[in-house]
Amino acid sequence: MNIKLKKILSQLKVLRSLKARIFIIVFLIGIIPSIILTYGILENYEDRAVSVRTSDVQNQLNIIANHLITYNYLTDTSSEVISAELEQISNLYDGRIMVINSGLKVIKDTYGTSEGRTVITESVIKCMKEGTGGSNYDAEYGYIEITTPIIETAAADAAVGNGATENKEKKKDVVLGVMLTNVSTESINVTLDILSRRALLLAILMLVAIFAIALLLSHVLMKPFERVAKAISEVKEGYKDEPISVPDYLETEHIVDAFNELQNRMKVVDTSRQEFVANVSHELKTPITSVKVLADSLLAQGDNVPAELYREFMVDIAEEIEREDKIINDLLSMVKMDRTVATMNVTVVDVNALTELILKRLRPIARKRDIEVVFESKRAVTAEADEVKLTLIITNLVENAIKYNREQGWVKVVLDADHQFFTLEIEDSGIGIPEASLEHIYERFYRVDKSHSREIGGTGLGLAITRNAILMHRGSIKASSVEGEGTTFSVKIPLSYVNA
């Protein structure tokens, strides 16, 4: 039931608006107490008016009851005075008085219709028995029924008259009869009607006022949020130099702070994307320009180009094309890596065997420059990793160690592990990296010495790709170097892959 209700509520789009909710809450908080108060007061008025009327009439009736005794009315109803009194009261309160004797017979009825009849209602019998009066309000028919006992106090002198000495001390009340009175409450009802009408009018006025207040409040309270939405949608058209600010509420401030932070981050991403596009186009253009220059100058030579010159130019052109191919390949593998962040193909990899294999493949290249490649394994390491990406990491780092080395230099690869991580250190005796460049080498297209790197076929993308692959394994990479002496890259990767 509850779930169903929630479903219906969630489907009512209006109720999902905070503005509508504020309006409803304020409206209900305003209107419910006013309604309760109005009807509470009216109800209270009715109770109070009935009880005042009852006690008024009761007082009068008590006085008449005494008179009835005095005039001995119960045995002789001829007293004009009493009859007049009874008429007067019944007229005054728009009611009917019946005087009933101890035989439950009506001896006087101000309506004159029930005289001589016997009355055996519960209230009359009770009053007769107990000698206490009572009242009962009938709201439906609009009258109050009052029973008043007619009591004769057996006074001391009366007792003396009887000559019974034991009655002297005991004053005994004797109920001689009952007055059954019905009093109309019409006048109370008329007043109640007038009051109700006024209350209704007041309630309508209040309803309108509270409606207006609720509408105004919901509008005013939501204003800052609307300002936030407006400020954010303005940003859609283009980044703003100034951070947006809506300091009205702590809440809006928090939203805006988070948004500004996001905007700053997006600005950084955007700038680096622009830089990257500029770099890519530049890098891709360079070999093409060279090819064009080479081809143009070959054409300019006319028809009788010596075959040697022709070959020489062709070799250069082929080199440039190879370079272009390398840049494109690196770019493709980088894009692929970006796109496959979620698709890590993790298996259990024998890192020792993998490293051996890679070094075996790279040794022929190293041998060309008489560089010795050594592998030192401190222990057998198996790790959960993506084998293709791990191959790429090791290959790139060892390739660099060979590329940026001197003739007859050396490269040393050290593999070690503790209970949590394995570490690979790739040390070389090469040209080293200047201190200031160390923090930039992982940036795309960054090269310490552009012309040297270009000479040996670098694209500046290798370390960016490598670092990315390491981060995907939740690992880290560090480089330390002494210029002219060599460089050490340390890679640290968890033995078990954490998919977080």
Q: How far is the CB of 383 from ligand ADP (least distance, A)?
A: 23
Q: How far is the CB of 468 from ligand ADP (least distance, A)?
A: 11
| Minimum CB distance to ligand ADP smaller for 214 or for 424 | 424
Residue whose pair of structure tokens reads 């107490």 in the numeric block? 33
Q: How far is the CB of 329 from ligand ADP (least distance, A)?
A: 11
The residue among 75, 61, 74, 78 whose CA lies nearest residue 182 is 61
Name the closest residue to ligand ADP (Cβ): 458
Q: How far is the CB of 367 from ligand ADP (least distance, A)?
A: 18
| Minimum CB distance to ligand ADP smaller for 10 or for 329 | 329
| Minimum CB distance to ligand ADP smaller for 107 or for 433 | 433
460, 469, 477, 497: residue in contact with ligand ADP (rule CB under 6 A) = 460
Q: How far is the CB of 357 from ligand ADP (least distance, A)?
A: 21
Q: How far is the CB of 317 from ligand ADP (least distance, A)?
A: 21
Q: How far is the CB of 438 from ligand ADP (least distance, A)?
A: 9
Q: Is 468 in the site for ligand ADP (CB under 6 A)?
A: no
What's the first-to-final CA gap in the chain, in angstroms? 38
How far is it, in rounded angstroms, from Cα 440 to Cα 276?
Answer: 14
Contact 376, 413 (CB under 8 A): yes
| Minimum CB distance to ligand ADP smaller for 244 or for 465 | 465
| Minimum CB distance to ligand ADP smaller for 38 or for 400 | 400
| Minimum CB distance to ligand ADP smaller for 22 or for 433 | 433
Binding mask 398-417 for ligand ADP (x = CB under 6 A): --xx--x-------------
Q: How far is the CB of 486 from ligand ADP (least distance, A)?
A: 8
Scan residues 267-296 and list those touching ligand ADP (CB under 6 A): none
Q: How far is the CB of 243 from ligand ADP (least distance, A)?
A: 35
How far is it, in rounded angstroms, from Cα 128 to Cα 131?
Answer: 6
58, 90, 459, 468: residue in contact with ligand ADP (rule CB under 6 A) = 459
Scan residues 421-440 and list those touching ligand ADP (CB under 6 A): 428, 430-433
| Minimum CB distance to ligand ADP smaller for 228 or for 464 | 464
Q: How far is the CB of 425 from ligand ADP (least distance, A)?
A: 12
Give the count of residues interacting with ligand ADP (CB under 6 A): 22
| Minimum CB distance to ligand ADP smaller for 191 or for 488 | 488
365, 446, 476, 490: residue in contact with ligand ADP (rule CB under 6 A) = 446
| Minimum CB distance to ligand ADP smaller for 73 or for 445 | 445
448, 470, 477, 491: residue in contact with ligand ADP (rule CB under 6 A) = 448
* Long-range residue pairs from 326-331, CB within 8 A, at least 24 positions apart, any chain: 326/457, 326/459, 327/283, 327/284, 327/287, 327/459, 327/461, 328/284, 330/459, 330/461, 330/462, 330/465, 331/280, 331/461
417, 458, 470, 491: residue in contact with ligand ADP (rule CB under 6 A) = 458
179, 354, 362, 441: residue in contact with ligand ADP (rule CB under 6 A) = 441
Residue 184: burial class (beta carbons within 10 Å; 0-12, 13-18, 19+): middle
**Which of the ranges 52-60, 97-105, 152-160, 447-455 carries the binding residues for ligand ADP, by CB under 6 A?**
447-455
Scan residues 116-175 and list those touching ligand ADP (CB under 6 A): none
Q: What angle separates helix 186-236 from helix 18-70, to the nearest 10 degrees?
A: 170
| Minimum CB distance to ligand ADP smaller for 133 or for 432 | 432
| Minimum CB distance to ligand ADP smaller for 149 or for 462 | 462
| Minimum CB distance to ligand ADP smaller for 223 or for 326 | 326
Q: How far is the CB of 482 from ligand ADP (least distance, A)?
A: 11
96, 108, 447, 473: residue in contact with ligand ADP (rule CB under 6 A) = 447
How far is it, in rounded angstroms, from Cα 231 to Cα 55?
Answer: 72
The residue among 434, 500, 447, 433 whose CA lies nearest residue 471 is 500
Residues interacting with ligand ADP, by CB under 6 A? 400-401, 404, 428, 430-433, 441, 446-449, 453, 458-464, 487
